A and B are shown apart, each in its own frame.
Chain A
Amino acid sequence: MTGNNPIIRLENLGMRFDNIMVLEELNLDIHNGEFITLLGPSGCGKTTLLRLIAGFESPTSGTVSIDGRIMNDVPPNQRRVNTVFQSYALFPHMSVSNNLAFGLRMAGIAKRERDQRVREALAMVDLPDMGDRMPANLSGGQQQRVAIARAVINNPKALLLDEPLSALDAKLRKRMQVQLKHLCRKLGITFVFVTHDQQEAFAMSDRVVVLDNGRIEQVGTPEEIYEEPVNLKVARFVGETCILDGSAHHWSDGILHAIVEGQPCQLKTRRSFGSHESIRVVLRPEDMVIVPEDDIASTHQPRLPGTVNETVYKGSTWDMVVDLDCGKQILITEFFNEDEDRICHKTGDRVIVSWFEGWEVVLPHEHA
């Protein structure tokens, strides 16, 4: 990442279609060489944002700058960013080589250099002998790689990827995730990736931008987003959550003394809360533990009694749905520990539920 000059800067960006707000007051700096993912549910505006950067739409308000230059009125063919489309959008009437050469031809690059660069690009995406094929005769994964090669061959300042993996099967998608991340490092080009799949976002990105309803909810590394979501919306969107209600008592030095679901406990949080303020404690299934009933010495607190509703064997984990006595239903994921004898709980068993100390996220109560 180079200094303070972002490669793409979005300032107060707003977008309306037929008076419907799609993006609102959006500010974002994208740095050179980073892999950034725009994550959000469908209809959140992430694809529109990408199209604004590419130049297919012009913003209703605010500015898009690429490499320090305001680009609002610059058409897509004069912007040095390239897009990989969800549908790949390969030219069906051109061979793979001609697809790859298209951008270079438009830029007026001589045939000899063109051929050379097409060969290199084909080798880069592991399709060295496919140059003469027509796109229709390629598999989905191959078309995908041609689409990526066709974009990066132009040495763009940024590569924009609009859910490019969504048409691939799960196995191929996992492999492409790794390859894309690798490609980003190797080429040193900024990747702006759009997806609605949080696992995909976390697997590849340096930073993740969570979008909802045309607004940025949170920007951060995958760890920050997952472990310290700024609000319930983000928390809910990026994974299974278990949300407990409580009220604050007093806060000092990062420790909040509070009552959660009727049990006194100490919570770790950097936020400060006023006395008697309503709070919510956000936990992930893997944060939760079942405390043996006789283990009085356990540091786990608070201790929430409940009844096992359902157990699901998942291979590497045991998932358990527990109905707490306070009326909430929660999901607990326990990883197998080979060293440990474990009691297998059955439906109907009474259990005590708690969580690993310090793994909780405390948020103010919001009416969402």
Chain B
Amino acid sequence: MNMHNRFRFLSISGAILWLSVFGLFPGLLMMGTSFLARHEAHLVDFRFSLEGYRTIIDPAFLKILWNSLYLAAGTTLLCLLAAYPFAYTLARMETRWKKVLLMLVMIPFWTNSLVRTYALVFMLKTRGIVSTILVWLGITAKPVSFMYTEAAVFIGLTYTLLPFMILPLYSAVEKIDGKMIEAARDLGAGSWRTFFHVTLPLTMPGIVAGCMMVFLPALGMFFVPDMLGGGKHLLVGNFIKNQFLVARDWPTGAAAGVVLTLLMLALIYVHGVSKGRLNKAGKKKS
């Protein structure tokens, strides 16, 4: 190998090596572990077994999975409903404050999510800010706590993940050529029809990306139910964490991890399709 190629070789192989050893091989390990049996002393017993999967189709796990999907999907919907009008308005604005306004979304995006969840405690606890306001408005007579309720988990997940929905939507809306919306209006479409036939399809990849960035983490953020849900309203993340650290049943935890991975791959596929469709349509036009 001459000097000419050495740099190319080193830069490609170094990065690929890292990615395979620490990115992809552990995934395979997880898959492998999910097919092993549990062993009291050595964590895993090296023989093929479907025990892990058998445990997770147990009604108890399915209940957690179902509840977790419900919480994650609900959070995704809440985020989408709050973020879409926000991102649309922000992206379509023409003021010099736009950059600052966008930066104000970036700050919570980059702030440690644990710290932000912790901040919510000030709002939701007994004699917290929400409670104080409600009393002051006369809506409730006594201070109320919102802690350790399903609503608190929803609020917590939405609060931590909302910026992850806003940013992809923002960039999707910003990419739309304003002329295209004007063209739709010019061709006689009303605001609603413009929205459903032009804006919505064009921002679809952004919507799917945002939903992925909210839905997938929402399944795993075990500290949110831990802090706000008081150990109730569990997520798949809590289940996996417990299998690994409390119950010491690694095959079951790994099997749940495999389920999450498959869910992720399915969503990536949907994302690819929605993006590909738009790209193809764009190419045909040009």
Direct A/B contact, Cβ within 8 angstroms: yes
**Shortest Cβ gap from A152 to chain B (Å):** 25
User: Which residue of A has the minimal Cβ distance to B5?
Assistant: A75
* CA–CA, A78 and B3, complex, Å: 12
Report B3-29 residues with CB < 8 Å from chain A CB.
4
User: Which residue of A has the minimal Cβ distance to B4?
Assistant: A75
User: Which residue of A has the minimal Cβ distance to B2?
Assistant: A75
Query: Per DSSP, are chain B's interface residues mostly helix, strand or loop, or mixed?
Result: helix
Cβ–Cβ < 8 Å partners of A77 in chain B:
4
User: Which residue of B has the minimal Cβ distance to A78?
Assistant: B4
**Shortest Cβ gap from A169 to chain B (Å):** 25
Cβ–Cβ < 8 Å partners of B4 in chain A:
75, 77-78
How big is the B interface, by class?
Answer: under 10
* CA–CA, A78 and B4, complex, Å: 10
**Shortest Cβ gap from B4 to chain A (Å):** 5
* CA–CA, A77 and B4, complex, Å: 9
- Fill in one digit per residue for A69-80: 1 if any B CB lies within 8 Å of its CB, else 0: 000000101100
Cβ–Cβ < 8 Å partners of A78 in chain B:
4
* CA–CA, A263 and B56, complex, Å: 93
Cβ–Cβ < 8 Å partners of A75 in chain B:
4
User: Which residue of B has the minimal Cβ distance to A77?
Assistant: B4
- Fill in one digit per residue for A41-82: 1 if any B CB lies within 8 Å of its CB, else 0: 000000000000000000000000000000000010110000
Report A256-294 residues with CB < 8 Å from chain B CB.
none
Report A54-113 residues with CB < 8 Å from chain B CB.
75, 77-78
- Fill in one digit per residue for B147-170: 1 if any A CB lies within 8 Å of its CB, else 0: 000000000000000000000000
* CA–CA, A339 and B249, complex, Å: 107
* CA–CA, A75 and B4, complex, Å: 8
* CA–CA, A78 and B5, complex, Å: 13
**Shortest Cβ gap from A71 to chain B (Å):** 14
* CA–CA, A318 and B4, complex, Å: 60
User: Which residue of B has the minimal Cβ distance to A75?
Assistant: B4
* CA–CA, A77 and B8, complex, Å: 15
* CA–CA, A77 and B3, complex, Å: 12
Report B87-110 residues with CB < 8 Å from chain A CB.
none
In the complex, 3 of the A-B residue pairs with CB atoms within 8 angstroms, ordered by the A residue number, are A75-B4, A77-B4, A78-B4
Chain A: residues with CB nearer than 8 A to chain B? 75, 77-78
Chain B: residues with CB nearer than 8 A to chain A? 4
Task: Rank and list the top 3 A-B pairs by shortest CB-CB distance, nearest first.
Answer: A75-B4, A77-B4, A78-B4
